[in-house]
Each structure stands twice: as C-alpha cells, then as structure tokens.
Amino acid sequence: KRFRSKLKKNGYNPDEILKARVKPGMAWIPWFALAHGYDGYLRWAYNSWTADPMNDTRFRRWTSGDCYCMYPEGRSSIRFEKLVEGIQDYEKALILRQLLIESGDEQGLDEFEKMLSGFTYETITSEGAEEALSAARRYMSAFIATVE
C-alpha cells in the first residue's frame, strides 16, 4: 500500500509532511511508512524541472525545489539525500525488528513499536520531523551498542 494515496483518502495532505521542515521531512517519510505498514512512497515529481533549474528552483507558489528530487544530469539534491538517509534507516529498522522477533524479545519489540508510534501525521505537522527521527536513531544506536 502506498501511503500518499492513503493519506489523501483519509483527508490528510501529504505535501504538508514535506513543508514541515523539508530537509528532515524527507528522511521522516520512510519511518512513517514503516510505522504504518506501507511498502513505498509515491513522489509526485522526480524531474519536473523549471525553465532554469540550476539557477532558479521556484515554481509558482510551491516550495523552492519541490518540483524535483534530482537536478539535470543526475545531480542530487538535499531532498533526495535525506530520502536516501531515511530509506537506509528503514532497512536497518527492518533488520532490528526481525532480530527482536527471532530472539523472542517481547519487551524489545514493544519498545520498538513504541518508538515507531512517534511517526504520525499529527506529530510531523505540529512538531516537525526532528524529534521522532532523533528518538528513533537513539533507540537504534542503543540497541546496536548492546549487540556489539
């Protein structure tokens, strides 16, 4: 299930996630997907460049650079790099969840799910992405430290 269309169906505006402190918001998206059981993210525009994207990323009333994640000739963007960061977190979190399940660590699994509960639409639109991202990364770092 793709969460962008699911959010719209439930009356939410997925673009608000990106406007909520855009840079961390992109890293937050994969965590949100994990927390809600989604298997992907449909980005409305990957390369819908403006007339001169290397010098002016504004388009009408949208946030500067919102029309694309990549610049011409394969140049990356902060948005794209933050999304990659979030996808890497997502993959690490999947491995962690599997380790907790396989070890039968019910308490650890409960703590993991509690950590994921910070990834809600209401949270990002009211508090931004930073708090939930920081808490999740602290949780994963602490877990890794116990394994090493």
Indicate the SS3 state at residue 38: coil
| Mean pLDDT calculated for residue range 103-131 | 88
Query: Cβ distance 132 to 124 under 8 Å?
Result: yes
pLDDT tens string 49-77: 878 888 877 777 776 667 777 888 888 88
Report, in angstroms and rounded to the nearest whole number, the Rg of the chain calculated over CA atoms.
Answer: 17
| Mean pLDDT calculated for residue range 5-17 | 54
**Could you give the CA distance from residue 1 to residue 127 in angstroms, rounded to a whole number?**
26
**∠ CA 97-125-91 to the nearest 5 degrees?**
20
pLDDT at 118 over 50: yes
State residue 20's pLDDT score: 47
In sequence order, what are the residues at sequence separation of 6 or more whose Cβ sits closer than 8 angstroms to the Cβ of residue 71? 49, 53, 54, 77
* % of the chain exceeding 70 in pLDDT: 80
State residue 54's pLDDT score: 82
